Amino acid sequence: MPGATLSRWTMSYFAAACLFLVIGECMLAAGYGYPFAEVGAPETLALVHLVAIGWLGLLMVGALLQFVPVLVAAPLRGGRLAAPALLLIIAGLLLLLGGFGALAGGPPLSPNLLPLGAVVIVAGFVLVAGMLAATLLAARPLPHPARFVAAGLLALVATVLIGACFAVLLSGAIESDLLTALVVHGVPLHAALGLGGWLSFTAIGVSYRLLPMFMLAPDNVRTTTKVAWWAGTAALGLVAASVGLAVIEPSAMTGLLVLAMLLTLGLTVLYGADAVRFYRKRRRKAVELNIRASYAAFAALIASVAMFALPAMRAAAGEGAAALVYLFVFGWLSGLGLAQLYKIVPFLTWLECYGPVLGRVPVPRVQDLVSERRARLWFYLYYAAVSAATFSLFMGSNPSFRIAALAQLAATIALIVEFARARNLSAVAAASRFPVGVPRPHLFLPPFRHRSEP
């Protein structure tokens, strides 16, 4: 990874993200939130934000702290802010969940926790955006994968600011006709900027670097990549413009959003074509499990976007197109995240442990840190469970959904155990596990006696 060092706090972000994913899936299996409550109910909002911020947001930030320096071949700026940002995001999320709990009539909690949590979350993400933006700005002109990340950061800022407006209004702290109009018409835009702009656009950008790197494929920029970038950026611009129209002229939003949907469909097709090209041009013929497990995530992306473009499918997907959102969040974003964690965690662990002694003593390969035969079964179970849960939402079968959610939870926990085993070098033969000079890796916290970061 030229120009980059290991990020001290990436494993901590990953660990916190996995914890929130397990909590969210426990809530799904227990029947908390949609489809057992309405889409707009406080219970559903709590579950959605726990998954979106706690799981997907922390996962993405942890990955970017490590891979943005790789994308631009330059060191991370302001790396010492990573720990306070993590604490602020977690604290803000817990306050936000407390606020939703108050709206749901929970134990003695106050709705005022909503704006307080929003402010703390905004502060955490501002630190993150500052670190990453400073790193990107210092490396101009940006390579194409980094441009996706830059656009994703702008979507992140818009998402958290709109969310803060929602929190202020829902808490009752402020009464405003403009904010009321934004809440009434802007929730889908908030979700589109967060799930589509921040998380998906950024994931696509990072994967344009990681897929060829892990498959040893040529990563030259082609016309399809450039058009995908412009299509995605234009779609994000149209959604952002619609936020203003949501307040002053909601009826004018329809045309912009239809065009944004078509551009998103085009982006998805072009990105899929580039992923196929990476696979066909790869020099590593034996494809590892993280790549094979990503195929299903790509399929979920294409299926959810294509079906969302069809009004009849959106209507059949339940309240707020819930089934398609579920497929997008747990099939595409979460599936891709778990698949890449299966490679990233052992890869970073290998660099941390064996990088300092490489060339001086025999060391195991990265593949020796995992057991693909066992993990393959968990990925099969995970995607089968997500498919079954999506189908159950289409059919309106709540008992089937809970069974599928329970299977999804079991697969997720099993995969997290695999990550922990890789971190502990459990699959490495005892004789070659710790040659002289190899440090023992910490599970998820960094060693605290360390050279100061820039």
Joined tokens for residue 436 = 């002289």
Give me the mean pLDDT over the 69-91 stretch. 93
Q: Tens digits of per-residue pLDDT, 24-51? A: 999 999 999 999 999 989 999 999 999 9
Q: Is 361 helix (H, G, I), strand (E, B) or coil?
A: strand
With cut-offs at 50, 70 and 90, classify the pLDDT of residue 1: low
Give me the mean pLDDT over the 73-87 stretch. 92
CB atoms within 10 A of CB 350: 22
Please answer whether residues 429 and 377 qualify as being in contact, where contact means their C-beta atoms are separated by less than 8 angstroms.
no
Backbone angles phi, psi at 95, to 5 degrees: -65, -40
Query: Among all chains, which residue has been given the structure tokens 């309405």?
Result: 38
- Give dist(CA 41, CA 24) in Å, integer: 16
Q: Tens digits of per-residue pLDDT, 320-367? A: 899 999 999 999 999 999 999 999 999 999 988 888 887 788 888 888
- Give dist(CA 99, CA 24) in Å, integer: 17
For position 449, what pLDDT does the model report? 60
Residue type, 276: V
Contacts of 84 (CB under 8 A, 6+ apart): 124, 127
- Give dist(CA 345, CA 181) in Å, integer: 44
**Average pLDDT along the chain:** 90
Q: Tens digits of per-residue pLDDT, 360-403? A: 888 888 888 998 889 999 999 999 999 999 999 999 999 999 99
With cut-offs at 50, 70 and 90, classify the pLDDT of residue 454: very low
User: Residue 332 carries which DSSP code?
Assistant: I
Please answer whether residues 377 and 407 qualify as being in contact, where contact means their C-beta atoms are separated by less than 8 angstroms.
no
Q: Tens digits of per-residue pLDDT, 296-315? A: 999 999 999 999 989 899 89
Q: Is 226 helix (H, G, I), strand (E, B) or coil?
A: helix
User: Residue 319 carries which DSSP code?
Assistant: G
Q: Tens digits of per-residue pLDDT, 139-195? A: 888 888 899 999 999 999 999 999 998 888 888 778 788 888 888 888 999 999 999
- Give dist(CA 416, CA 326) in Å, integer: 21
Burial class (CB in 10 A: 0-12, 13-18, 19+), 449: exposed
- Give dist(CA 336, CA 46) in Å, integer: 23
Please answer whether residues 236 and 197 qualify as being in contact, where contact means their C-beta atoms are separated by less than 8 angstroms.
yes
Question: In the predicted model, is pLDDT for residue 217 greater than 80?
Answer: yes
Determine if the pTM surpasses 0.75. Answer: yes
Question: In the predicted model, is pLDDT for residue 2 greater than 80?
Answer: no
